[in-house]
Structure 1
């Protein structure tokens, strides 16, 4: 394959994958360490510890967390591409998140919008997280198929 064609294929494929991820600041989870969430901590990643997976980039707060991610990346990728879980469930819409507002449920990371007096993690729990999760799973499937 010619170099120009190879580059074009890479750009198209990375754009395809990236459209299903919330890449604020160029990184999944706004550059927060997705492994640290599983230790119940919202920690900004460090530019010295980055990697790519599924055509998108992740930052980590330590070399240890980077290595943990590399061993099983699918475990740490946030649900719904890192978009607000509540908005995906309630409305089927991609909405930005506040990376400090999160939940680990059944071994999966969920991120939420939290600004201007609206904390969707609170709404998620008050309105029935399990039902919203089921709706979000269905809505996300429709989103990624389009």
Structure 2
């Protein structure tokens, strides 16, 4: 086999794997439409898709957590960017954990449990809210207080239902 054929073959193989990685979601970050859990976790029980909940408040940005800095709360494992963030969370978890179990706040306002995207977030009245994507977030931000009132009223009735059952 000549060098050119080998390079072409390797390029095609590498491109195929890159496309598959981009298209096929990671199983550990899967959103389970058949789960009746009140908290949105991946298949490993990790909340916020591995993002550090404290970083939204201290750094003002979504920041990936690291497995060596983890803490459990309410059956959910959260990952943190540092030991200091982990310790702050352990001291006051209700201050940092996402509202509506990390499901999309706008979705909850509309009687739905949609996956929360940790990069589509806002802090309002000292609480962290996620949305399913940035387009939905734009709509949510038009009336955060009103949407949260609707979501607060809906959440007790839908929190233990499956996303799939809510249509």
Q: Does residue 109 of the first structure (1) align with residue 108 of the second (2)?
A: no
What is residue 51 of structure 1 aligned with on the other side? 71
Out of 26, 33, 51, the residue aligned to residue 32 of structure 1 is: 51
Structure 1 residue 145: deviation in Å? 6.2
- Could you tell me which runs of 5 or more consecutive residues in structure 1 were left unpaired when the two chains were aligned: 1-17
- Could you tell me which runs of 5 or more consecutive residues in structure 2 were left unpaired when the two chains were aligned: 1-35, 162-167
TM-score (norm. length: structure 1): 0.79
Higher helix share: 1
Higher strand share: 1
Count of matched residue positions in the alignment of Structure 1 and Structure 2? 124
Out of 5, 16, 21, the residue aligned to residue 39 of structure 2 is: 21
Largest Rg, 1 or 2: 2
Out of 88, 91, 95, the residue aligned to residue 114 of structure 2 is: 95
Query: C-alpha separation between the residues in 1 aligned to 2:104 and 2:90?
Result: 24
Runs of 4+ in 1 over 6 A off after TM superposition: none
- Whether the aligned pair in 1 keeps the contact of 2:55 and 2:85 (CA below 8 Å) is yes
TM-score (norm. length: structure 2): 0.70
Query: C-alpha separation between the residues in 1 aligned to 2:106 and 2:159?
Result: 17
Where 2:138 maps in the other structure, the secondary structure is helix
